[in-house]
Amino acid sequence: MSVPAPPEWTDALRRALPLAALPPGDVDYFLVSPRGRYVACTTHALHTVLIDTAQRRYAMLADWSVRGLDDASVELESDETRRQAFPVYADLWQPAFTDPALPWQPARD
């Protein structure tokens, strides 16, 4: 069962997707940071895409699913451990948006 997103979230998603050249139909689910600067979505191809609308950049991550998002960082869960029967052993990564390990790229629009 899907839950309708608040209108301000769908507006933020609509504005953010062109930055990563993603069509809306490719998005399975998404989150928006409290101030609306960051959008994180998971695509049908099971990639997580982080979009920074203020700096007009995006990062695509394979093998990670977004679990949480705030104005400073994103919480990611390894797809490998997410599929395991014991979520206690989940491999979590919570990088700040300033973390050099995030593969930021300039906007594609």
On the question of pLDDT at 74 being above 50, the answer is: yes
Q: Is 47 a domain residue?
A: yes
Give the whole-angstrom CA distance, residue 56 versus residue 37: 10
Quote the number of domains for the chain.
Answer: 1
- Average pLDDT, stretch 85-100? 79
pLDDT above 70: residue 70: yes
Would you give the DSSP letter of residue 70?
-
The parent domain of residue 18 ranges over 7-102
Q: Does a structural domain hold residue 107?
A: no
Report pLDDT digits (tens) over 12-64. 999 999 999 999 899 998 999 999 999 999 888 878 999 999 999 999 998 88
pTM above 0.85, yes or no: yes
Supply the pLDDT for residue 88: 58
The answer as to whether 108 is a domain residue is no
What is the C-alpha to C-alpha distance for residues 95 and 16, in angstroms, rounded to an integer? 20
Indicate whether 83 belongs to any domain: yes
Structural domain contains residue 2? no
Number of C-beta neighbours around residue 84 at 10 A: 12
